[in-house]
Amino acid sequence: MNDTQIEKLIQAEKARQKKVINLIASENYVSKDVLMALGSEFTNKYAEGYAGKRYYGGNTVVDKIENLCIARALKLFKLKKEEWHVNVQALSGSPANLAVYTALLPLGSKVMGMSLDQGGHLTHGHKASATGKFWMQVPYGLSKETEQLDYEELAKIAKREKPKMIIAGFTAYARIVDWKKFREIADSVGAYLVVDMSHTAGLVAGGVYPSPFPYADIVTTTTHKTLRGPRGALIFAKKDVRELGKKIDKAVFPGLQGGPHINQIAGVVVALKEASIGDFKKYAKQVVKNAQALAGELSKLGWRIISGGTDSHLFLVDVSMDGKGMGGGEASDRLEKVGIIVNKNAIPFDTCPPTDPSGIRLGTAAETTRGKKEKDFIKIAREIDDALRTKN
Ligand code: DSN
């Protein structure tokens, strides 16, 4: 590389990633093939429009890439092309979700989404996000007793508020979601059901987490978490008389963006194939086993795991210990000092501010990619315990 300054920084980041234990629940390590596709000549190409309908010449190869991405996305999630439309152009998860709102809802419509502080995402209608400024969030949360979804309560909120859209699928919820119940609640008020499976997409693909496709009208997902691809997003829309796919396509381009990032889409194409081969199923299973081993050991060591455990790749730990512990920020800093990378996170019904919440979020997708098994995560739990209990 001629630019030695950036070359040095690339090497430094490579070394950092190699050295640390990465427990950030939304990160992963992509394959060399994904990196090659990302760094390919596709980055040079403008391709506004969709395959066969571009606004620039020279897109015959690009059309093949985009069509292949759509075909592989359908195949991975066992969907029929007669039943599902796929848009692969949204640049990442937040723009994908914004495209869904733009496509389906008049401005100001009510959207029922989980509060950020209970495990939802900014784009599920939080007031700091465009989705909360241009549409009106009807928030829902968890049961205080179980720290899990309370479907009866959700049904009551829906009946009272009559939202136009309900969003399910979360960033800090460890348990299996009952998509069928969400469908019934959406049907009871005539709302669209949108599932944002960004966190669990790889687990769904690997067959260890229930698929939302039998129940949702729209499914969005990022491609870089448990799915282990490059940063990017997919939007799946059910094909029927409502023509949701057409509306989504228009919202993405020209509604919200110009040219798609073809190199990124090429990376997604590679990742979708990788996720469809046998080894990925083993990987997904191991991710969940590892999360359960990590949560189980931390619990034995006296740490409170939100909702008492996990069915997925992630979970939250309450580090406040009823005032005898510390904030999530301090916990994250202490862990970074010993080479363990996590993020501070609000816990349900947190009394501390989001800038210094009471919890940390731990996930096992990245370290499972590096081959770690349950015994390694038990060791990591002990290292976490040591670092958090040692005053330094
Ligand atoms: N930043 C993602 C996460 O960490 O879950 C959500 O956008």
Respond yes or no: is residue 283 known to be catalytic: no
Does one domain contain both 128 and 179?
A: yes
Looking from the CA of residue 93, the nearest atom of ligand 1 is 7
Does one domain contain both 259 and 284?
A: no
Domain presence at residue 197: yes
Q: How far is the CA of 1 from the centre of ligand 1 (A)?
A: 32
Segments of the chain with pLDDT less than 50:
none
Q: What is the pLDDT of residues 219-257, one digit of tens each?
A: 999 999 999 999 999 999 999 999 999 999 999 999 999
Respond yes or no: is residue 334 known to be catalytic: no
- Who's near 380: CB < 8 A, 6+ residues apart? 21, 23, 294, 340, 367, 372
If you ran DSSP here, which 8-state letter would residue 169 be given?
Answer: -
Give me 32's structure tokens: 């060399």
Does one domain contain both 204 and 121?
A: yes
- State which of 275, 300, 334 marks the end of a domain: 275
195 vs 183: CA distance, rounded Å: 10
Tell me, using a 6 A CB cutoff, whether residue 93 lines ligand 1. yes
Respond yes or no: is residue 196 known to be catalytic: yes
CA distances from 355 to 30, 75, 177, 359, 360 (A): 30, 41, 28, 11, 12
Does one domain contain both 263 and 311?
A: no
How many CB atoms neighbour CB 98 within 10 A? 21
Q: Which of 102, 131, 222, 310 is catalytic?
A: 222
Domain presence at residue 351: yes
Tell me, using a 6 A CB cutoff, whether residue 102 lines ligand 1. no
Does one domain contain both 270 and 324?
A: no
Give me 26's structure tokens: 């939304």
- State which of 258, 275, 292 marks the end of a domain: 275
Q: Which domain holds residue 385?
A: 279-389
- pLDDT of 321 reads 86
Does one domain contain both 99 and 222?
A: yes
31 vs 274: CA distance, rounded Å: 9
Please tell me the residue having the least CA distance from ligand 1 atom 3. Answer: 26
- pLDDT of 392 reads 58
CA distances from 281 to 28, 170, 217, 288, 311 (A): 16, 22, 26, 11, 16
For residue 363, what is the domain's CATH number?
3.90.1150.10
Domain presence at residue 17: no
Does one domain contain both 296 and 246?
A: no
CA distances from 372 to 21, 343, 359 (A): 10, 20, 24
For residue 136, what is the domain's CATH number?
3.40.640.10
Domain presence at residue 181: yes
Domain presence at residue 10: no
Domain presence at residue 27: no
Q: How far is the CA of 93 from the centre of ligand 1 (A)?
A: 9
Respond yes or no: is residue 361 known to be catalytic: no
Beta bridge pairs of residue 183:
none
Does one domain contain both 119 and 206?
A: yes
Burial classification of residue 24, based on how many CB atoms lie within 10 Å of its CB (0-12 exposed, 13-18 middle, 19 or more buried): middle
Domain presence at residue 18: no
245 vs 269: CA distance, rounded Å: 20
Does one domain contain both 166 and 99?
A: yes
CA distances from 249 to 3, 36, 77, 365 (A): 38, 28, 20, 31
Q: Which of 45, 54, 225, 372 is catalytic?
A: 225
- Who's near 79: CB < 8 A, 6+ residues apart? 73, 213, 236
If you ran DSSP here, which 8-state letter would residue 113 be given?
Answer: E
- State which of 240, 275, 310 marks the end of a domain: 275
Tell me, using a 6 A CB cutoff, whether residue 95 lines ligand 1. no
- Who's near 284: CB < 8 A, 6+ residues apart? 202, 203, 205, 206, 207, 208, 209, 226
Domain presence at residue 149: yes
Q: How far is the CA of 171 from the centre of ligand 1 (A)?
A: 6
Whole-prediction pTM: 0.97
- pLDDT of 376 reads 98
Does one domain contain both 86 and 129?
A: yes
Q: Are 100 and 124 in contact (CB under 8 A)?
A: no
Give me 317's structure tokens: 């730990």
What total of structural domains would you count in the chain?
2
Does one domain contain both 359 and 371?
A: yes
Q: What is the pLDDT of residues 330-354, one digit of tens each?
A: 999 999 999 999 999 999 999 999 8
Respond yes or no: is residue 231 known to be catalytic: yes
Tell me, using a 6 A CB cutoff, whether residue 171 lines ligand 1. yes
Does one domain contain both 234 and 287?
A: no
If you ran DSSP here, which 8-state letter would residue 144 be given?
Answer: T
Q: How far is the CA of 196 from the centre of ligand 1 (A)?
A: 12
Q: Are 316 and 303 in contact (CB under 8 A)?
A: no
